[in-house]
Chains A and B, each alone.
Chain A
Amino acid sequence: MDHDNNTPATVALELQGLTRRHPGVTALDSVDLTLMRGEVHALAGENGAGKSSLIKILCGADRPDAGRMRLFGEAYAPQTPLAAMRAGIRVVHQELHMLGELSVAENLLFERLPRTRLGLLDRAAMDRRARELLALVGLDELSPATRVGTLGMAQQQLLEIAKALSNQRGGAARIVIMDEPTATLTPRETDRLLAIIRKLRDDGVTVVFVSHHLQELFEVCDRVTVLRNGRHVATQPMAGTSTGELVRLMVGRELVERPARVAPALDAARPAALRVEGLRHAGRREAPPIDFSLRYGEIVGLAGLVGSGRTETLRAIFGADRAAAGRILRDEQPVRIASPRDALAHGICLVTENRKEEGLVLDMPIRANLSLARLGAVSRGGLLSAEAENAAARRMAGELQIRLASIAQPVRQLSGGNQQKVVLGKWLLRDPKVLLLDEPTRGVDVGAKAEIHALLERMAAQGMAVLVVSSDLRELIGLCDRMLVMSRGVLVGELPRAQFDEEAILAMAYREYLVRPQEAA
């Protein structure tokens, strides 16, 4: 490719009417997008706006249902990630894919290791090429022989970028997509990354930049495209855009339907069902400790971006992971929670975000899944009672309106919504006092979603304390009495229902990502 910057702007990639439907949800709805050669283009949007779906299609991991793409004027329809790579489209993923036991050089050149005429590894060539790539990302001082496993997350992230830039599998990189590349970087390393991005742009490479850190978008991007609910909302120059405007574009202005929710009659004399004091997560020592409380009969939302510490908070309360510091109080009495078993003993249950991995035993019958957390109630002296188990399972299936053929059916055969109801039923059989839910309606159809909401309201009305994490802000606004907002590990605010405002909540959720923390001296 040429390095002449004086040529008139060339279109690098053009998307027309790109559509991708999943059962029950349209991930991308007729999206148009034009990327110019040598520009840094920000891709912004809330969780679930369609950014990931778009990236998957661009890098050949998924195929659109409709629409067409043109890459430098030629039809582009990659069937595999390899095809996308050959066409010069590279992705730096959020997760690291380094082979820890191999050297830096081997990792960088893994796809096309240089060989001598005898077919042996050409160590000299490997070393030379690796050094060139390392220089590109400012890691000149790093020896290509270093074992990758000994490097920190940030350096590995930079290696991922170097690898994406290498000439492996055919042509040079023409479009580089960076999906949250700064998540693990320190401010200094972020600066270095932004410098690399500018250099790439000057070399004529197109960079697509995805980041929660809006400040970074403003620093490095030329234009921004905002997606919302799978639709293209706007594409405009970064220069004329304000932070507030960007947030507004991401949220949208349409009014949120707020079903009437009767405010719970909270008994001020009653102790708080749950109080969290000075909670700190192992991986976020720099963030201030978290304090909040939860009253009986109340549904509280925990809003924030993915990765802002919402899930960690729930899991810490439930004792699911080790190494969180802080105090948990139940009815104002301190309790020790070192494992899920302790949490359950204190009447705390957690509906985890991944029902298939953490919530269900997929190949076992519905009834066995429902009774799993309360086997004592369906057994006597260690012997299972089929009658007791069947009765409990039927009661829960009825109460939650789980649509099933038989309670002996493997839970795998149920739809997502009904599977989620089984998870809820498992905990409700324990009659929890405090119910924590992480994305309780993710991957659940609209009907089941409404049923789950109604169920939670019913439970709260009966006196249960409910804490809900959701990436669907509208869901939280409709459901909750009070909202806690987290941003980058910090509990940034709390709002009563009367002050719920999507824009305000989202601004709070982005707050800690707007400031660039100072490098620790």
Chain B
Amino acid sequence: MQAMNLTSSSTPAAASMGDRAALVLREAGIGLALLVLLGVFALLSPIFLTAGNITNIFTQISINVILAVGMTFVILIGGIDLSVGSVMAFCAVVAGTVLKLDGLDPALAIALALAASIAVGAVCGLVNGAVSAWWSIPSFIVTLGMLNIARGAALQWTQARSIYEFPDAFNNFGSATLLGVPAIFLVALALVLAGWFVLNRTVFGRLVYAIGNNEEAVRLAGHSVRFYKIAAFVICGAAVGVGAVIYMTRLTIASPISGIGFELNAIAAVIIGGTSLSGGRGSIIGTLLGACIIGVLANGLILIGMSDFLRQMVTGFVIILAVVLDVLRARLAQRAAR
């Protein structure tokens, strides 16, 4: 080790090696971490790699993946959305009410409920985005307010009661599988693909990244920064609307107290996935991998018999570790660039 340092310090070879290491860390680091995690749990628990458990993990992470896709847009433009969990509960109780409307054909009722849920989520996002973009108020504060507003609205709407007894077709979706893959995970994957497409292949996505990097340059290039900021929050809200309905199909109830803390899981997935909290850098694929790491960790730690409390601590450590690794990677890249 010491000998290596002596021979390779400050030579061009060292620089290019640092460069390559940084590249590998950035591109595949998260995927690698996930693989290592899978390997460790496979060794420690005989049940971990069974088809049943894998299906289980997919089911468990679906909601977080859906929420994290929307959160990625908001974080990429340099914002944050703390209202996700509460807005999800509000979406759910509105959707639940629509599902229970008398005299509706079940298929129509489900379609209307989904539309209503997405609409409620999008409107909440619109308010978040418009208030923060128009008056330049940090989205942290605006969405903190929305967190309370939406929770209160959900409780007021239902008088704190849950709504249940939905159509069978609706309830069955939550446990349906296609070739062993949970249907709800397929929905999550579809959103991941849609998000990837928008961010990588459209003018909209290009400007989301550009605004996160340098808002002023984008404004002076003739674009309406406000529009894109608001749109990112609307997208996040709409994803929450989808997530709310999917969550209802799993629980078969709509509860005004559901989703507490979900925003933090979504943010954690985005951050572990390598997206910078200051905006402009990151990817949807990273977010998917981040959500997988959180899910695998939770599942695997249960299987090896770790207590709830310790699991929570481990998850916390992983979030910090992910950010520290990201900072180290950035420094390495900087040194390599010199």
Q: Which residues of A contact B (CB under 8 A)?
A: 318, 320, 339-341, 343-345, 350, 352, 357-364, 368, 372-373, 375-376, 379, 382-384, 413, 426
Cβ–Cβ contact B213 & A320, under 8 A? no
Please give, as numbers and ranges, the residues of chain B lying within 8 Å of A383 by CB-CB distance: 201-203
CA distance A352 to B217 in the complex (A): 10
CA separation between A360 and B220, bound complex, in Å? 10
A sample of 8 inter-chain contacts (CB < 8 A) reads: A343-B222, A360-B214, A360-B217, A361-B217, A363-B281, A376-B203, A382-B203, A382-B204
Q: Check A341–B223 contact: CB distance below 8 A.
A: yes
Please judge, given known A-B contacts A360-B214, A363-B213, whether A384 and B224 are in contact too, CB under 8 Å.
Answer: no
> What distance in Å separates the Cβ of A420 from its nearest Cβ neighbour in chain B?
14
Given contacts A320-B220, A340-B222, A384-B201, contact A375 B214 (CB under 8 A): no
B214-232 CB mask vs A (1 if < 8 Å, else 0) is 1011111111100000000
Q: How far is the CB of B266 from chain A (nearest CB, A)?
A: 24
CB distance from B218 to the nearest CB of A (A): 7
Q: Mark contacts of B190-215 with chain A using CB atoms, 8 A cut-off: 1 yes-contact digit, 0 otherwise.
A: 00000000000111101101100110
State whether A379 and B210 are in contact (beta carbons under 8 Å apart), knowing that A363-B281, A372-B221, A373-B221 are contacts in the complex.
Answer: no
Secondary structure at the A interface, as helix, strand, loop or mixed, is helix
Contact B222 A379 (CB under 8 A): no
Whether B337 is near chain A, meaning CB under 8 Å from some CB there, is yes
Chain B residues proximal to chain A, CB less than 8 Å? 201-204, 206-207, 209-210, 213-214, 216-224, 280-281, 337
Residues on B with beta carbons closer than 8 Å to the beta carbon of A344: 222
When distances are taken between beta carbons in the complex, the residues of chain B under 8 Å from A372 are 210, 217-218, 221
Contact B217 A341 (CB under 8 A): no
CB pair A426–B221 under 8 Å, yes or no, is yes
- Which of B202, B217, B280, B337 is A358 in contact with, Cβ under 8 Å? B217
Find the A residue at minimum CB distance from B280: A363
The docked-state distance in angstroms from the alpha carbon of A363 to that of B333 is: 13
Contact across chains for B222 and A359 when beta carbons are under 8 A apart: no
- Determine whether the beta carbon of B206 is less than 8 Å from that of A375: yes
Q: Give the distance in Å from the alpha carbon of A383 to the alpha carbon of B199 in the complex.
A: 10
Q: Most chain-B CB neighbours within 10 Å: which of A343, A362, A375, A383?
A: A375
Given known contacts A363-B281, A383-B201, A413-B337, A368 and B219 CB-to-CB distance under 8 angstroms: no
Q: State A372–B223 Cα separation when bound (angstroms).
A: 9
Give the distance to chain B from A301, nearest Cβ to Cβ, in Å: 22
Chain A: minimal CB distance from B32 (Å): 23
Minimal beta-carbon separation of B330 from chain A (angstroms): 11
What is the CA–CA distance of A340 and B280 in the complex, to the nearest angstrom?
Answer: 22
How many whole Å from A411's CB to the nearest CB in chain B? Answer: 10
Q: A363-B213, A363-B280, A364-B213 are in contact. Are A358 and B220 (CB under 8 A)?
A: yes
Residues of B within 8 A of A340 (CB): 219-222
Report the nearest A residue to B205, measured CB to CB: A384
Which chain A residue shows the least CB distance to B197?
A: A383
- For residue A363, which residues in chain B have a CB less than 8 angstroms away from its CB? 213, 280-281
A373–B206 alpha-carbon span in the complex (Å): 12
CA distance A364 to B220 in the complex (A): 16
Q: Which residue of B lies closest to A344 (CB)?
A: B222
